[in-house]
Structures are given as C-alpha cells and as structure tokens.
Structure 1
Amino acid sequence: MKVFSLSGPSGTGKSTSALVFAHKIGVEAIIDDGLLIVNGMKVAGVSAKFEKNTITAVRRAIFTEEAHREEVMKALTTNNVQSILLIGTSDKMTKNIAQRLELGPIATFYYVEDIRTQKEIQKARFIRQTQGKHVMPIPYRQVEQNFFKRLVQKGKDIFTPKREKIGETTIVRPDFQQEYIEIEKQVYVQLLSFCCNQQDIVQKVEHIQFTLGEQAKATISLQLKMPIDYVLPRRLHQLQEAVQQSFFQHFGYELDAINLFVHCALPKKK
C-alpha cells in the first residue's frame, strides 16, 4: 500500500481540501479523524468530531480503541485499498496512525501549506475561532441520521477541474468545540462603513452587503464628494486597499472581493 501524510495545525482547512488533494495525487482512500473514506464515501470508523471532549477525540483519531482499529483495518482489506492519505496535526500523529493500522512506512509527507494558500489558511482559522465549525469530507446523508442533535449542515459538492464529482463535505460543530467567539454580521458592516467614511473622498456610505462563506465579499455603494479633481480609479483602488488593511487588522484574514459602486457625487457638506 502507498501511504501518504498530510499534516497541519487544527482549523487550517485540511479536511476541506482533502478530497481534491487526494484525487490530485491519485490516492483512493483517506483517514481523517477516525474515519476511513474511500472514493469520497465513509466505509468504516467513527469520527473523532463527535466525541465529548478533546482527550477522547484525540484517542479516537489515533485509533487507541481496539474495536475501532480492527473495524478500519478489516475495511481496508475488504475494499482492497492500495493507496491512502493520513490526515493529522503533525508528522508524529500520522506516523502513529500508520503504525496502529499496520499500514507500513509513510512514503511522502505533505503539509497544509503545500495545498492551501496563506489566505485560505487564515480564513479557515477565523471561521474555526468565530463559528466553531468543522468540516467532514463525507456526504451529509452519512452523518445526519446519527448526529441530528448537533449542528450539522450540508457543505459542498467537490469536483475535479473537469467537473467530475469526487465527493461532498458536511459541516458540524463538535461537542468539545465549546470556545469560540461569535461575531454578528453587523460588526463587519460597521467596520466597513467606518473605514470608508474615514476617506476624504467619501460623502456618504449608502449601502453595504457583506457575505462570509466560500468567498468573503464586501459590496459597498458610495456617494463621493465634489469636485472630483483627481484620478478616480486610483483613489477608489486606494479605498479598497484601506478597507482590506483594516479588515485584516481586525479579523486576521483578507476579503476575496471588495466591490465599490459609486452612486453619485455631491458637493462637500459645509
């Protein structure tokens, strides 16, 4: 069996990118938080994300329970798995998993920085810290029947560049994820409005629409001050940069898009 490792700190988006990355390097199976996933479907195991505390979650993820370990090892044989990607928080953890499941030595070690941009990692950390949400790289229907009392949401369908579906994701909030800071949407809107109003070209901020999901976007409708005796595109670009800098300073990640719409220009208020 060809064994690969993908490691990185918690909350950096390893599970989010796992299906695409496994497909890219030609790997059919994934071990993630105690689950064996083959070709995008859970075939064995119990997820560590549904343990009551972090200690039991870690023990679940590294297969310390004998029955859990034997179930996954049997499924590896039954499904004739020839290549597998082990996901963990460190090389030590993935080596531990490989040893417990008797997979043999790990051929190649990859890290989250190899498969995700710094911008994507920053956003993933922010979502973990402010929403407490975790991603499982398995379909919603394989989760919700047994864990319907917890936050469980459909994630997204995962496709290859050729638009071939290779799997789905599900979003959950584990019981052990007790500490997170929830930020109301209005906080983002107020920050964006304040930042725009600090710019000397802005007469009034008319409307702001903010979305935080797969893409973090701000759409801002403005009134400008007259006279416009400057190069408008340059000043609007500077405004976008100021908004981006302020947003990063306060929340630790960058917006994917800042769309500015100039509704009109009015004389400066006396």
Structure 2
Amino acid sequence: MKVCSLSGPSGTGKSTSALVFAHKIGVEAIIDDGLLIVNGVKVAGISAKFEKNTITAVRRAIFTEETHREEVIKALDSYSVQSILIIGTSDKMTKNIAQRLALGPIETYYYVEDIRSQKEIQKAKFIRQTQGKHVMPIPYRQVEQNFFKRLIQKGKEIFTPKREKIGETTIVRPDFQQEYIEIEKQVYVQLLMYCCNQQDIVQKVEQIQFSLGEQAKATISLQLKMPIDYLLPRRLYQLQEEIQRSFFQHFGYELDVINLYVHAALHKRK
C-alpha cells in the first residue's frame, strides 16, 4: 500500500484541503480524526470530534480502542485500499496511526505549509479561535447529528478543475471545543469605519459590508472631500493598505478582498 502523511498544527485547515490534496496526489483513501474515508465517503470508524474532551478525542484519533481499530483494518481490506493519506498534528502521530492500523511504513511526508498558503493558514487559525469550527471531509448526511448540540452545517462540495465531484465537507463545533473568543460582526465593521475616518480624504463612510466565509471580504462605500487635488487611485490604494495592516494587527489574518466604492465628492458643510 502507498502510505502518505499530512501533518500540521490543529486548526490550520488540513481537513479542509484533504479531499483536494488526496485527489491531486492520486490517493484514494484518507484517515482523519478516527475516520476512514474512501473516495470522499466515510466507510468506517468513529470521528474524534464526537468525543466530549480533548484527551478522549486524541485517543480516538490514534485508534487506541481495539474495536474501533479492528473495524477500520477490516474496512481497509474489504475496500482493497491501495493508497492512503494519514492526517495528524505531527509526524509522530501519523507514524503511530500507520503502525496501529498495520499500514506499513510511510513513504512520503507532506506538511500543511506544502498545500496551503500562509494566508489560508492564518485565516483557518482565526476561525478556529473565534468560532470553534472544525471541518470534517465527509458529506453532511454521514455525520451523526445528534452528537452535536451547538453547531452542525453543510460545508461545500469539492470538485476537480474538470468539475468532477471529489466529495463534500461538513462544519461542526465539537463538545470539546468550548474555549473560543466570539467576535461580533460589528467589531469588524467598527475597525473598517475607524480606518476610513482616519484618512484625511474621507468625508463620510456611507455603508460597510463585511463577510467572513470562503473569503474574508469588505465592501465600503465612501464620500470624499473636495477638492480632489491628488492622484485618486494612489490614495485609495493607501486606504486599502491601511485596512489590511489594521486587520492583520488586530486579528492576525489578511482580508481576501477590499472593495472601495466612491459615490461622491463633497465640500464639508459648515
């Protein structure tokens, strides 16, 4: 069997990218958090995300329970799995899993920095820290919904560049993910407002829209002061740069999109 490892710290987006990456390197099966996933579908195992605390979640993820381990080993045989990607937080963890499941030695080691940009990793960490959300690379219908009291929602369908479906993701907030700092949307809007009002060219901020999903996106409508005796594009670029700098300073990640719309230029009313 071809055995590969993908490791990186918790909350960096390994499970989010797992399906696409496995398809890219020609691997049919994934071991992730106690689950065996073959061609995008869960075929055996119990997710560590069903556990009540971090200790039992780790034990589940590394297959310490005999019945759980035997179920996955049997499924590997019955599905004739020839290639597999083991996901973990370290090389030590993935080696441990490979040994417990009798998969043989790991041939290739990959790391989250190999498959995700620093910007994507920063945003994934931020979402984990502020929303407590985890991604499972299996379809929504396959998740035991009664296990989750706080959050379970559909993620997205994953496709190849040729629009062939690889699989789906599901977003959950496990019971053990209790410590996170929730940030109200208004906090982001207030920071955007402050950045704009600090610029001497801005007369008024008309409207701000902010969304944090697949993309972190800000859309701002402005009125500028008269007279405009400067190079307008350059000053707007400077405002975008200041917003980006402030977001990174306060939240530790960068916005994907900053749209500025100038609706008018007005003299200040006396």
Q: TM-score scaled by structure 1?
A: 0.98
Separation in 1, partners of 2:70, 2:144: 25
1:147 shift after superposition: 2.8
Question: Which consecutive segments of 4 or more residues in structure 1 shift more than 3 A?
Answer: none
Query: What does 1:52-91 correspond to in 2, within 5 Å?
Result: 52-91=52-91
What is the DSSP-based 3-state SS (H/G/I as helix, E as strand, rest coil) of the residue aligned with 2:240?
A: helix
Offset at residue 136 of structure 1 (A): 0.1
Q: Residue 213 of structure 1 aligns to which amino acid in structure 2?
A: G
2:264 matched residue in structure 1: 264
Q: Which runs of 5+ in 2 are unaligned?
A: none
Tell me how far apart the structure 2 counterparts of residues 148 and 132 of structure 1 sit (CA, whole Å). Answer: 13
8 Å CA contact 1:203–1:268 kept in 2: the answer is yes
1:215 maps to 215
The one-letter code sitting in structure 2 at the alignment partner of 1:57 is A
In structure 2, relative to structure 1, the CA distance for the partners of 1:93 and 1:41 (3 Å cut) is same
Q: Indicate the SS of the match to 1:157.
A: strand
Q: Secondary structure at the match of 1:181?
A: coil
| CA drift at 1:267 | 1.3
One-letter identity of the residue aligned with 2:10: S
Q: Does 1:114 align with 2:114?
A: yes
Post-superposition Cα deviations, 1:197-224, rounded to whole Å, max 9, x if no partner, equal 0001000101000000000000000000
Aligned to 1:130: 130
| Distance in structure 2 (CA, Å) of the matches to 1:163 and 1:59 | 37
User: Which string of whole-angstrom CA distances, capped at 9 and with x for unpartnered residues, describes residues 136-181 of structure 1?
Assistant: 0000000044435341100000001111110000000011101000
Q: d(CA) in 2 for partners of 1:192 and 1:149?
A: 34
User: Gaps (5+ residues) in structure 1?
Assistant: none
* Between 259-268 and 23-32, the greater mean CA deviation after superposition: 259-268
Equivalences for residues 64-213 of structure 1 within 5 A: 64-147=64-147, 149-213=149-213
List per-residue Cα deviations over 1:55-76 (Å, max 9, x = no partner).
0000000000000000000000
Is the contact between residue 5 and residue 106 of structure 1 (CA under 8 Å) also seen in structure 2?
yes
The 5 A counterparts of 1:41-60 are 41-60=41-60
Aligned length: 270
Give the equivalent residue in structure 2 for 1:39. 39
Confirm or deny: 8 A CA contact 1:202 1:225 kept in the other structure.
yes
| CA offsets 1:101-158 (integer angstroms, 9 cap, x no match) | 0000000000000000000000000000000000000000000444353411000000
| Cα pair 1:144 1:152 within 8 Å, conserved | no
Cα distance in 2 for residues equivalent to 1:107 and 1:150: 39
